[in-house]
Structure formats: structure tokens, C-alpha cells
Structure 1
Amino acid sequence: MTATVTSELYAQVQHFYARQMQALDDGRLEEYAGTFTKDGSFQHSPGVPAAVGRDAILAELRSFLKKYEDDPTQRRHYFNQIVLEPGEDGGIRSTVYALIVRVRPGEKPDIWPSTVVHDVIDVTDGEILLRSRTVSYDQLV
């Protein structure tokens, strides 16, 4: 069965992304990992293998963010230009432009990096979860 993309679903996905990115930016990593299906996959950086499953996603996030523990920089993820397409497998394919804004105390914000996010979304009984996420970086193209 092919999923249908309606304006209501589009709005739900926007809300999902807003809540998901705020959880990540606020360091609520368990909440972020919980936005994936139990066997979901997350590949966030070139050369880093995809983490599969919520526990592995959470472990990967903790490991990745460890390098920023002593860095007072605030990061904000902005998702825009969302394109949703029905998939043959019943999921929704999502392509999103994402900018990560870094703000260091006393400095002007800068954008690092500019990315494209490719998600496969499952919608079950009105609940949205990610089956997979792959992030590509514009500066590496």
C-alpha cells in the first residue's frame, strides 16, 4: 500500500521535525532516539557507519557529542524545504534542507554545516517515527 501525502500529514511532519530538532538541540538525546522506529537507522556524518536501533542511535549521539562537552557553543538545527513523497513500501520519503547554526558566547552566529537530510518516515495510527535518516553535507559534494 502506498501512503498518501496530504496537507495534514505535511503539517504533522513539520511539527515532528520541530519537536525532534528541539530535543536534539536541548540535549534530550533519549527523546531524540525515541523518534526512530525500534530498528531505525541513523547515519549523520560521512565515514561514520549508520547506527541501527534506538540504543545504538543513543550511544552514537552520546559518543559524537562528547567532543563538545567543554564547548559552550549552542547549536540550532533548522529544517526547511521539506519534500514528502509516498513510497512503494507504505513509508514516506522525505528530503529536507537543514542548516545548523552555531552560536558561541559573544560571537555572531555562523552556519555549519549546510546539509540535505533523507528520511524514510513511518506513520502508524497517527504516530510518526523515522525508519531511517541519512545526512549528506553540501561542502563535500
Structure 2
Amino acid sequence: MPHTGTASLDTERLYSEVSHFYARQMQALDDGRTDEWAETFTEDGVFVLHGGHDRAVGRASLAASSAKARAALAEQGIRHRHWLGMLTVEPRPDGSAAARCYALVVATPLGGTPMLHRSTVCEDVLVRDGAGVWLVQHRQVSRDDLV
């Protein structure tokens, strides 16, 4: 059913805002700006990976875990790029938004050939800060290769 009027414009604006948010967020992570990436989460933001086996809570923990992963990749001579697609964004009555997308991680050995490292589904609860900027309050990433 096609959307019309103000609701359509609001939905399109929300989709565009969240899409741009993810582009900035993933580029910060892939460029090694791990503190900046962690700032895209709420102060008490939660990141749950692999069905709950890996979990980070709070910006300091998020920054530390992403910096550690980045260092391990650098030591191996591998660069990761995150590619998000098939994004859906649903506004929630409390002003937050539920976002879901497929997230592919491409691994490229320096001087080598890119290869698909991981295929996942990313599900977020996004909230706005006092300045109206989107932040991740809760992220659940599920790998396609794990049950």
C-alpha cells in the first residue's frame, strides 16, 4: 500500500536519517576511529553479538572491545569493511526507532583479495540524544552461520 502525505515524508526522512547515521557509524569503525564509533551509542548502550556470547555495555567497554579487535586485525594485516543493506526502520510510539538490516563484513588482506568474512542481521533500538542525534541504545547482531 503506497504511503501518502505527511506520514510518507516523515517515514522517508526517518529512513534517510538512519541510513546516514549507519554510514557514518560504520565508516568510523572501519577507519579505526573506535572512540568516535563508541560515541554513536548511548552512555549505557548495549552490543550483543553471537546470540549473547559476546556482550559489551557502555561506551568505554564498546571503545575498548572495538579497539582490541581493530588491533588484532592490523596485526594480521587484514582490513574489515562493513556493508549494511536491506534496511528497514520503524518509528516507535516512544520516539525511538527499531532498525533492522543485513550486515556483511568484507575482509581484505593487505595486498590480497577481498572475501566475505561474515553475514549477519543487525537489529537496533535507536534513540535521539538531547540534540536530536540518533544513538544506538541496544544492538543485537546475529551471525548467519551460528544457530
TM-score range, shorter chain: 0.7 to 0.9
Q: With the length of structure 2 as denominator, give the TM-score of the two structures.
A: 0.84
Q: Paired residue for 1:73, among 78, 89, 92?
A: 78
Q: With the length of structure 1 as denominator, give the TM-score of the two structures.
A: 0.87
- Structure 1's 85 and 47: CA in aligned 2 closer, same or farther, altered over 3 A? closer
Is the CA contact 2:83–2:103 (under 8 Å) kept in the aligned structure 1? yes
User: In 2, distance between residues paired with 1:23 and 1:53?
Assistant: 18
User: In 2, distance between residues paired with 1:108 and 1:19?
Assistant: 25
**Per-residue Cα deviation, 1:40-87 (whole angstroms, up to 9, x for no partner):** 111234553421111111122223334323122111100111111123
Unpaired runs of at least 5, structure 2: 1-6
Greater Rg, structure 1 or structure 2?
2
For 1:56, the equivalent position in structure 2 comes to 61
User: In 2, distance between residues paired with 1:47 and 1:128?
Assistant: 24
Runs of 4+ in 1 over 6 A off after TM superposition: none
**Per-residue Cα deviation, 1:18-56 (whole angstroms, up to 9, x for no partner):** 000000000000000000011111123455342111111
Higher relative contact order (CA 8 A, sep 6+): 1
Counterpart amino acid of residue 128 in structure 1: W
Tell me, yes or no, if structure 1 residue 103 matches structure 2 residue 108.
Answer: yes
Q: What SS does structure 2 have at the residue aligned with 1:139?
A: coil
User: Greater helix share, 1 or 2?
Assistant: 2
How big is the alpha-carbon RMSD for the aligned residues of Structure 1 and Structure 2?
1.9
Tell me, yes or no, if structure 1 residue 129 matches structure 2 residue 135.
Answer: yes
- The within-5 A match list for 1:1-40 is 6-40=11-45
Unpaired runs of at least 5, structure 1: none
